[in-house]
Structure 1
Amino acid sequence: MMKIKISALFLVLLPVIASAKVVPQDCVAWPMNITEGWLKRSGIIDISDLDEPKTEVKLLASQKKAHNLHTNIYRFVFHAKDGRKFEVITQNDASDEECSMSEVNSYLVSKSTINY
Structure 2
Amino acid sequence: LFGPGPSNVPPRVLAAGGRPIIGHMHSEMFGIMNEIKQGIQYAFQTNHSMTLAMSGSGHTAMECAVFNIVEPGESVLVAVNGIWGERVAEIAERMGAKVHTLAKAPGGHFTNA
Give TM-score scaled by structure 2 length. Answer: 0.27
Give TM-score scaled by structure 1 length. Answer: 0.26
- Greater relative contact order: 1 or 2 (C-alpha under 8 angstroms, separation 6 or more)? 1
Between Structure 1 and Structure 2, the one with more helix by share is: 2
